[in-house]
Amino acid sequence: MQFYQFDKVKLFEKPTPLQKLENFGRHHGFDNLYMKRDDSMLLGLGGNKLRNLEYWLAQAKKEGADLIIAAGGLQSNQCRLTAAACAKLNLNCRIYHNDQKPEKLEGNLLLNDLLGAQAVFLGAISEEERNIQVAQEVNRLREQGFRPYLIGDPALGALGYADSAFELVEQAQSLGLKFDHVFIVGAMNITATGFLYGTALLDAPFKVHVISVEYPLKIMEKKIEEIWLQLIELTGIEPQKHYSRFALLSDDTLGSGYAEPTAQSRAAIRSLAAREGIFLEQVYGGKTLAGLLEKAKLGEISGDQKICIFHTGGYGALFTQAEILQ
């Protein structure tokens, strides 16, 4: 299944690997635990945002954009991958950060600089205020004759993870696998909602666990519903099954909030690295894996079931997290 009515640019080879976690799974009591390695994409250290960017940047090119705008925190994975994709496609990129300029560049911020993106530091302001200022800047640029394209349309980007649901099911079938549960991160929820939408279009062959790493449960539920409705409006396709019939949303391992580490996430990161040689960072991947382990502890999933977890990348930020992870 594909969304042929929407243009895409190609930013990575598909499918991304589906890897059985032999050692980690055995240690934690799982017979068939797999990881969908969206971190293995070659461009810009890879990660989930490349799936979104294939649609966003196709739209930017369609509109004749001459400047790609992204906005985020200093260690934003979306900003880093936007910069990488722009470098590959020979597009100018400008990134707005809601923070002060640090004394030294490290992690994703250093990578953005190497990729040739222009950084603008707006000071220590809220995400809401940053978005207001960036929207004003986009309008000013248009008045000056530029053709900026602002990255982030939720529904359009979510199509990339609807694609990933189709890809995962086809890949699993080729290996003789039928998953019972799939785990995916819930942050801005573009990724999660896209995956839920694609899963629904496939008549929900498995349960989907969305593990919140950013918002309390009620807020995450609201954001997912908003993007779900936007997807239906964008595509004109309403799945027969609403995601509430197969999705399990959880904030059990959110801890004290976004980017705040927990003992569970630290332990999950260390266990996976030591047993599989796979790195997770603590903002997204660590908490998502911790969520899976918590569900097993609570008896909501069992070791004899077939389970998949998405690795959505982001370990460029890992190099800024030494104090947090020790």
Residues 142 and 167 placed together within one structural domain of the fold: no
pLDDT at 2: 79
The answer to whether the peptide bond before residue 216 is cis (omega within 30 degrees of 0) is: no
Q: Per the domain annotation, does 12 fall within a domain? A: no
Distances (CA, A) of 13 to 10, 42, 171: 8, 8, 14
Residues 182 and 37 placed together within one structural domain of the fold: yes
144-165 confidence digits (pLDDT tens): 999 999 999 999 999 999 999 9
Q: Which domain holds residue 206?
A: 18-47+154-325
Residues 129 and 184 placed together within one structural domain of the fold: no
Q: Per the domain annotation, does 6 fall within a domain? A: no
Residues 33 and 53 placed together within one structural domain of the fold: no
d(CA 314, CA 326): 19
Residues 209 and 282 placed together within one structural domain of the fold: yes
The residue among 129, 150, 171 that closes a domain is 150
The residue among 150, 171, 205 that closes a domain is 150
Residues 277 and 130 placed together within one structural domain of the fold: no
Residues 230 and 89 placed together within one structural domain of the fold: no
pLDDT at 167: 98
pLDDT at 322: 73
Check which CATH number belongs to the domain holding 69 and give it. 3.40.50.1100
Residues 227 and 178 placed together within one structural domain of the fold: yes
Q: Per the domain annotation, does 104 fall within a domain? A: yes
Whole-structure pTM over 0.75, yes or no? yes
Residues 60 and 99 placed together within one structural domain of the fold: yes
Q: Per the domain annotation, does 1 fall within a domain? A: no
Angle between helices 154-174 and 190-201 (to 10 degrees): 50
pLDDT in tens, the chain (326 residues): 779 899 999 999 999 999 999 999 999 999 999 999 999 999 999 999 999 999 999 999 999 999 999 999 999 999 999 999 999 999 999 999 999 999 999 999 999 999 999 999 999 999 999 999 999 999 999 999 999 999 999 999 999 999 999 999 999 999 999 999 999 999 999 999 999 999 999 999 999 999 999 999 999 999 999 999 999 999 999 999 999 999 999 999 999 999 898 999 999 999 999 999 999 999 999 999 999 999 999 999 999 999 999 999 998 887 888 777 77
Q: Per the domain annotation, does 320 fall within a domain? A: yes
d(CA 148, CA 60): 8
Distances (CA, A) of 213 to 83, 217, 243, 322: 24, 10, 19, 19
Sheet holding 148-150, edge to edge: 118-121, 93-97, 67-72, 148-150
Residues 178 and 319 placed together within one structural domain of the fold: yes
| Number of folded domains that form the chain | 2
Residues 197 and 275 placed together within one structural domain of the fold: yes
pLDDT at 294: 98
Residues 116 and 187 placed together within one structural domain of the fold: no
